[in-house]
Structure 1
């Protein structure tokens, strides 16, 4: 093999290796950006959930309603194993009416549960599936699932399912 062919082969191999390295750097950068973006979105969702909880427990209707999507297809479901009850509301009008009525019947603020610091989040573009557990001093252990939607750059609740286990399951 001539020196020119060897030199060309070595040069081509080097170019290929350099190009692969640059592609790998771009992939790493993209992966890092996705991770940073996921953490930022998770943090924003966490803030929305904690603010909604604070408003609900403090009986702040205006603060509470800011955290929800106002749409006829949203839902809110409570399953309470501790007292064998179940409630479901579909659509903003029904959910809003339920909360207004609850606040009217129970006007005194409740003790605020420990705010969330860890949630599981699966992002889907402008939507997110969120799950977590929370201990409530009046109801015991709760498992919550929230469907979140990003509306005008702000995460809002589009669906909520709360399963209340009470105090027995915590042992």
Structure 2
């Protein structure tokens, strides 16, 4: 067989081998396919959620805002069955203003609910879907869903839905 006929297939094979050996990176310079330490990530997410809750109940806006993604696509939704109310904020500016107004209208800190120690987490590279229930001494039982994003190595909240069920009347 002629050496020129072998040169093209061999060159293609070498190029494919080199390309397959490269480490792919996503848009945040995180290696795609990197093994995730799910327990460490869960612990970091739990810390973010608890610190965000503490800041909100202590009325510390500056600490609270550090736990959120600041862009126009995030959402925050409250459904309160006992109060028969619903609110939705879309985008960082609207969410931020909602919280600032709430703090201005309710400046006194509230008792911090028992901090979370158990959450359900589904990790997706730089994102996580988190669900949990929490007992609030003022509002009763709450079910929360949080969409988390890892930004510069730190977990932040990119979406929140809170459903408040109140207190069980038979207890």
TM-score with structure 2 length normalisation? Answer: 0.78
Unaligned 5+ segments in structure 1 are 1-32
Identify the residue that residue 120 of structure 1 maps to in structure 2: 120
Instruction: Tell me, yes or no, if structure 1 residue 164 matches structure 2 residue 169.
Output: no
- State the secondary structure of the residue aligned to 1:101: helix
Relative to structure 1, is the Cα distance of residues 170 and 69 closer, same or farther in structure 2, using a 3 angstrom cutoff? farther
Identify the residue that residue 61 of structure 2 maps to in structure 1: 61
Spell out, residue by residue over 1:5-60, the C-alpha distance to the aligned partner (whole angstroms, 9 max, x if none).
xxxxxxxxxxxxxxxxxxxxxxxxxxxx95x7000000000000000000000000
Between structures 1 and 2, the one with greater helix share: 1
Unaligned 5+ segments in structure 2 are 1-33
Relative to structure 1, is the Cα distance of residues 162 and 43 closer, same or farther in structure 2, using a 3 angstrom cutoff? same
1:169 Cα deviation after fit: 7.0
1:170 Cα deviation after fit: 8.0
1:73 Cα deviation after fit: 0.4
Who wins on radius of gyration, i.e. which is larger? 1
Identify the residue that residue 41 of structure 1 maps to in structure 2: 41
Instruction: Tell me, yes or no, if structure 1 residue 92 matches structure 2 residue 126.
Output: no
Query: 1:15-34 to 2 correspondence within 5 Å?
Result: none
Aligned pairs, how many?
A: 138
1:153 Cα deviation after fit: 0.1
Q: Answer yes or no: is the 8 Å Cα contact 1:82–1:166 preserved in 2.
A: yes
TM-score with structure 1 length normalisation? Answer: 0.78
Identify the residue that residue 51 of structure 2 maps to in structure 1: 51
In 2, Cα distance between equivalents of 1:149 and 1:170: 39
Relative to structure 1, is the Cα distance of residues 152 and 111 closer, same or farther in structure 2, using a 3 angstrom cutoff? same
Tell me how large the CA RMSD over aligned residues is. Answer: 1.5
In 1, Cα distance between equivalents of 2:160 and 2:85: 16
